[in-house]
């Protein structure tokens, strides 16, 4: 029996495990892979998270992340829009960042089960029981679900979004090439967009979102990239000049931007398990970290104030919506403006003459330091 069980060891899960362990709670976390490992992710984080990471002993500065202060977006034709990032951010691979947070969690006394998968969650008599794939069981009065975008656990929980097919796939590489290290660039193409920004060790993360239909039409990822992504001259140059550091790209299917509940079967859902911001807005990692902080605060209040579960669920729902609902809604709206060649060209041409609108959009999809 633990105080808190956490399903999934991504940013939200690891950050919440560290925060809760520092408060004196007994915490166990279940992760289906073994650290370190790569994830399909844009690997850019806004500076809004730095005060909180420092407060829980997880300041990423020793990892030497790339500093990012400028933003560029291009239309499929190559037409560009550039802007300064008000708050700024940093780039660090999930391979490095997640492993660092994993080590911090272990130092704080978090019990971590790697290479383990939660098969079933049972809630009975105010206690959760997690059934693991190896037939072991774990129990606790509180469970956080922070297991990412879409898993078989969502099916067993009968979550609404799981039954709606998503057309999106994500592909990620690490590359080396001469590009500005202080700039994050988003390059649009037909039915998708690619982000590229520096991470540690003179590498760049190249991650793009496209549709299954694009892949189906062209048969293979390289063929699709040549036929579709190369139509944008900036992407064509990147693919022609870069040194690709993976033998094969990291790929994820069925990426869903559908509305999700932040409380499911009495579990508090964090990070992408609670709702994913469009990658075009470039701030999913910061949102995951912030959701871990919100969950930590609400769980602490639950144990301090008489273990009122209704109060826990209502408090977390309210805090989550206050912090993220507008950003997610705006992110979905912004996504509709990109990926279609004509609409993308028109949007970028218009925004070039409205710099205040560009800054407003960036502020609305990013949070304040916390």
Cis peptide before 25 (omega within 30 of 0): no
pTM: 0.93
Report pLDDT for 82.
93
DSSP 247: S
pLDDT in tens, 102-134: 999 999 999 999 999 999 999 999 999 999 999
Buried b (16+ CB within 10 A) or exposed e, 26-48: ebbbbbbeebeebbbbbbbbbbb
- Residue bearing tokens 């909180």: 52
Domains annotated for the chain, with CATH where assigned, are 4-65+90-165+258-342 (3.50.50.60)
> Each residue of 46-55: pLDDT tens digit?
999 999 999 9
Range scoring the smallest mean pLDDT among 263-277, 286-300, 316-330, 331-345: 331-345
Residue 368 has pLDDT above 90, yes or no: no
b/e sequence 214-237, b meaning 16+ C-beta within 10 Å: bbeeeeebeebbeebbbbbebbbe
Judge whether 167 and 255 are in contact, CB under 8 Å: no
Please give the mean pLDDT across all residues of the chain: 91
161 closest CA partner among 322, 252, 6, 275: 275
- Please give the Cα distance from 143 to 3 (Å, whole number): 9
Instruction: Quote the Cα angle for 137-25-299, to 5°.
Output: 90
């Amino acid at each position: 029996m633990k105080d808190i069980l956490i399903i999934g060891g991504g940013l939200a899960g690891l950050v919440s495990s560290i925060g809760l362990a520092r408060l004196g709670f007994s915490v166990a976390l279940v992760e289906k892979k073994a650290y370190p490992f790569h994830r399909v992710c844009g690997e850019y984080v806004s500076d809004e998270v730095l005060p909180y990471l420092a407060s829980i002993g997880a300041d990423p500065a020793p990892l030497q992340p790339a500093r990012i202060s400028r933003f560029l977006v291009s239309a499929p034709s190559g037409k560009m829009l550039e802007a300064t990032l008000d708050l700024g951010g940093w780039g660090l691979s999930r391979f490095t960042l997640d492993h660092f947070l994993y080590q911090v969690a272990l130092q704080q006394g978090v019990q971590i089960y790697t290479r383990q998968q939660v098969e079933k969650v049972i809630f009975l008599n105010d206690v959760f029981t997690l059934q693991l794939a190896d037939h072991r069981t774990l129990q606790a009065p509180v469970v956080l679900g922070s297991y990412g975008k879409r898993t078989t656990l969502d099916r067993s929980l009968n979550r609404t979004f799981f039954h709606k097919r998503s057309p999106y796939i994500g592909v990620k590489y690490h590359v080396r090439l001469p590009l500005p290290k202080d700039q994050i660039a988003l390059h649009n193409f037909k039915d998708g967009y690619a982000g590229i920004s520096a991470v540690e060790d003179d590498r760049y993360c190249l991650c793009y979102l496209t549709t299954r239909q694009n892949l189906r039409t062209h048969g293979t990822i390289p063929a699709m990239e040549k036929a579709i992504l190369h139509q944008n001259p900036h992407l064509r140059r990147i693919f022609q000049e870069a040194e690709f550091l993976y033998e094969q790209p990291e790929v994820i299917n069925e990426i869903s931007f559908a509305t999700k509940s932040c409380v499911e079967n009495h579990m508090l859902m964090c990070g992408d398990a609670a709702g994913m911001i469009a990658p075009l807005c470039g701030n999913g990692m910061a949102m995951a970290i912030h959701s871990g902080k919100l969950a930590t605060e609400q769980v602490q209040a639950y144990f301090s104030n008489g273990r009122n579960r209704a109060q826990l669920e209502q408090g977390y729902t309210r805090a989550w919506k206050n912090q993220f609902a507008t950003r997610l809604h705006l992110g979905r709206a912004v996504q509709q403006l990109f990926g279609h060649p004509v609409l993308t060209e028109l949007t970028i041409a218009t925004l070039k003459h409205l710099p205040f609108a560009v800054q407003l959009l960036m502020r609305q999809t990013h949070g304040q330091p916390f």
